[in-house]
Amino acid sequence: MPLVEMQRRTMWFGIVLGLVSLAALAAPRAVVVEGPRATPAAHGLTAPDAGNRGDVIAYARTLDFDTASDAGDTRPLSTPACVACAVGPLATIQPERGTVSLSQAELASGRIIARIVNRNAEGWSDLALTPRDTTYLWVDSLAGSWRMMFVPNRKDAEMVVRPMRIKYHPATGHDRAEARWRISSRTGAVQPWERCIKTGCCEPH
Amino acid sequence: MRVTVTHAAMMWAGLSLFAAPACAQEPPSRVRAAVVRLASAKDRADSVNMVLTRLRPPSIPADTMFDTLPGVGDEQRLMVGVWPRATYGPLAKIQPHRAASYLTDADRDTGAVIARIINLDTVSYAKFNMHPRDTVYWWVGRRHGELVSVFFSSYPGARPWVSNLEIDYHPSRPYYQPIARWIWNDRDEMAWGTCDGGRCCRSAGTALR
């Protein structure tokens, strides 16, 4: 066989081998990419009340709250429209990592979506914050009405229940849970705001 | 939530990541990066004029340049003094410039406005150059070789306010959307905003000596 022919065959063999390798790489061998898991349900639990408070707190402690600074928010809480007033306690809100994967139906059945850590020795009754302790945010829907329940870690402390609304937005590719302190346009008070389902954000009404 | 993908899809996804800065993230044609070269200003007053002219052209409504959506900006009552011995001050909004997440290193080194701050109250504030009912533009860039923030007030006669600039790098989790917030830094608020996709800028807002 002439040398030129051998070189040509070798070149074609190399090209074919390369194409086969690429095809093999692109073959549908499935690999799995993990997205954020949806916040797990509180199995067997209904909305927090005096009877099941301990179980709800135990469930809350099994959840995974994002402690990164850009996932949550820290602020001194404020009284509505109060220039020159003393500041309230310093509070950090941290989202449960899986809220961005929740559907509306899952949220309606009841979930804890965030926790609030009060870093001060004074309480804040509006949001059921007790001194230097943690309060959990439970959200559910009763007969079509959304509500947000502030459940203090301390079982003898009062819970606070607030009506809530969801502001809907298109699904985004952003898979990070986020919780913020926002000023209520209605009352002027600082209140929680969180991306609580794939396509919406929750805030007290 | 589990998503099944093929190697081929992953290859394309990888390639598209490289392609994104060139095409998908191009800002709308009317919103260009607010690059302002302060080095060419004759004096302080001229630098203020340059920024205000660039950011408030009569032909373009201001809200087309800055994102006014509540989720991407922030509105808080800023504090006077240092926590815990502090009182509430003015209610202030911070809103990102729509092109802030597309800035290049060259833009930032030349200097660009990344956000605006709106004082909704009738009281002045010691930081961020905020006067009563004022709009302040947050410029980041180099001054005498050093990266700084300069806050330009639109209050008549107000001088530029030079403050610090801290940059956080997060190339593995870039922001594809301009964002600006008030953040808490141990004892006081700071302004925080997207400098470009992979970096974030922070400033305490106090005067730099």
Q: Write phi, then psi, for A99 (nearest 5 degrees).
A: -65, -30
Q: Does any CB of chain B come closer than 8 Å to the CB of residue A37?
A: yes
- C-beta atoms of B83 and A76 within 8 A: yes
pLDDT, averaged in runs of 10, over chain B (209 residues): 43 34 38 84 88 80 81 90 85 93 84 95 94 96 91 94 92 79 90 87 90
Task: Give the DSSP H/E element, type plus range, for residue B53.
Answer: helix B44-55
Positive or negative: CA dihedral A85, A89, A94, A96: negative
- C-beta atoms of A75 and B6 within 8 A: no
Whether the Cβ atoms of residue A183 and residue B91 lie closer than 8 Å to each other:
yes
How far does Cα A196 stand from its chain's mean position?
A: 6
Give CA–CA dist A63/A39, Å, rounded: 8
pLDDT tens for each residue of A92-138: 999 999 999 999 999 999 999 999 999 999 999 999 999 999 999 99
- C-beta atoms of B1 and A183 within 8 A: no
For chain B, the structural domain boundaries read: 33-203
Q: Is A70 exposed, middle or buried (0-12, 13-18, 19+ CB in 10 A)?
A: middle
Of residues B24, B69, B175, B178, the one with CA closest to residue B113: B178
| Closest residue on chain A to B3 (Cα) | A33
pLDDT tens for each residue of A49-92: 888 999 999 999 999 999 988 899 999 887 776 777 778 899 99
* ipTM value: 0.72
- C-beta atoms of B6 and A30 within 8 A: yes
Rg (CA), chain A: 26
Q: Which residues of B touch A173 (CB under 8 A)?
A: 176
Give CA–CA dist A182/A93, Å, rounded: 11
Worst-scoring range by mean pLDDT, A11-15, A24-28, B132-136, B179-183? A24-28
How far does B183 lie from chain A, in Å, by closest CA? 7
Q: Which domain holds residue A183?
A: 53-204
Q: Does any CB of chain B come closer than 8 Å to the CB of residue A201?
A: yes
How far does A65 lie from chain B, in Å, by closest CA? 17
Which pLDDT belongs to residue A40? Answer: 92
Listed in sequence order, the residues at least 6 apart from B37 whose beta carbon sits closer than 8 Å to its beta carbon are B110, B111
Task: Give the DSSP H/E element, type plus range, for residue B18.
Answer: helix B7-19
What's the total number of domains in chain A?
1
A15 domain residue, yes or no: no
Instruction: Please tell me the pTM assigned to this model.
Output: 0.78
A199 domain residue, yes or no: yes
How many CA atoms within 13 Å lie on the side-chain side of A30? 5
